[in-house]
């Protein structure tokens, strides 16, 4: 972890979508709330969903369980064509989760030409996880967009040097594998096989499994990244 610290990003679709637009994601794609994992409520989440983002208490019991799962090594990461980067900036987990969500779905969306994220991905796609993180540390445009977005939430952000107890991770479909991407871990975690048709439901099941390890904790928030049907 570097000495650089950002303000934490709020799990707020409106804030995150403004941020994504600044990065170069077309406004017809973005973040939507997942209010409940009940089957009836999931019908209201815009489809298709390309990634799931989970915000959770970093000291949750499930995090201890997930730490023991098998990581993909560097060779497997290259073979699976997954974009994975480490998180070395304090409080940048929200931005890292969003980058993971977008970068692993470039076959579904086209970023705006010469936008901050398009240029970042073009420069880092072939780099290793730590090198990607170093690029982000030096990226003025993404850092400035994150800073502006972090100050637009409904609650006042804590000081950048304050330890935040919540953490963002992303789930994506990479070549038929449901992967968990967490910049604080050594690599992607493969949970199971999946498909374009079943990814959303499969990822929801993993989130439900994790939340069941800490059922009394109300600090979990789930979000979907994908098409915004109301645009």
Catalytic residue among 93, 190, 204, 207: 93
Asked about 93 being catalytic, the answer comes back as yes
Q: Is residue 3 part of a domain?
A: no
User: Residue 63's pLDDT is what?
Assistant: 59
User: Residue 15's pLDDT is what?
Assistant: 95
Catalytic residue among 100, 107, 130, 167: 167
Which residue range forms the structural domain that includes residue 127? 13-227
Q: Is residue 122 part of a domain?
A: yes
Rounded Cα–Cα distance for residues 154 and 167 (Å): 18
Q: Is residue 6 part of a domain?
A: no
- Least Cα distance to 68 among 180, 226, 150, 172 occurs for 180
Q: Is residue 8 part of a domain?
A: no
Q: Is residue 118 part of a domain?
A: yes
CB crowding 91-122: b at 16 or more within 10 Å, else e: bbbbbbbbbbbbbbbeeeeebeeebbbbbbbe
Q: Is residue 98 part of a domain?
A: yes
Asked about 167 being catalytic, the answer comes back as yes
Total tally of structural domains belonging to the chain: 1
Q: Is residue 135 part of a domain?
A: yes
User: Residue 68's pLDDT is what?
Assistant: 54
Q: Is residue 158 part of a domain?
A: yes
**Tell me, what CATH number does 62's domain have?**
3.40.532.10
What's phi and psi for 199, nearest 5 deg? -55, -50
* Full pLDDT tens readout for the chain, 231 residues: 678 999 999 999 999 999 999 999 999 999 999 999 999 999 999 999 999 999 988 766 555 555 556 777 667 776 678 999 999 999 999 999 999 999 999 999 999 999 999 999 999 999 999 999 999 999 999 999 999 999 886 565 555 555 667 899 999 999 999 999 999 998 999 999 999 999 999 999 999 988 888 877 777 999 999 999 754
User: Residue 231's pLDDT is what?
Assistant: 46
Residue with tokens 């990581």: 71
């Amino acid at each position: 972890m570097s000495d650089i610290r950002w303000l934490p990003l709020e799990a707020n679709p409106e804030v995150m979508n403004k941020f994504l637009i600044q990065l170069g994601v077309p406004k017809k794609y973005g973040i939507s709330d997942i209010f409940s994992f009940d089957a009836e409520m999931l019908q209201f989440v815009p489809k298709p969903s390309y990634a799931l983002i989970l915000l959770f208490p970093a000291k949750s019991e499930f995090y201890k369980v997930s730490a023991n799962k098998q990581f993909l090594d560097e060779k497997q990461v290259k073979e699976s064509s997954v974009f994975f980067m480490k998180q070395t900036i304090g409080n940048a987990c929200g931005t890292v989760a969003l980058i993971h969500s977008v970068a692993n779905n470039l076959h579904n969306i086209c970023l705006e030409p010469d936008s901050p994220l398009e240029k970042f991905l073009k420069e880092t796609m072939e780099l290793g996880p730590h090198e990607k993180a170093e690029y982000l540390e030096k990226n003025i445009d993404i850092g400035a967009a994150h800073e502006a977005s972090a100050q637009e939430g409904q609650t006042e952000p804590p000081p950048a040097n304050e330890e935040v107890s919540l953490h963002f991770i992303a789930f994506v479909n990479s070549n038929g594998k449901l992967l968990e991407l967490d910049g604080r871990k050594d690599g992607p975690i493969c949970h199971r096989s999946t498909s374009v048709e079943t990814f959303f439901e499969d990822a929801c099941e993993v989130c439900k499994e994790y939340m069941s390890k800490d059922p009394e904790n109300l600090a979990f928030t789930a979000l979907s990244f994908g098409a915004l049907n109301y645009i």
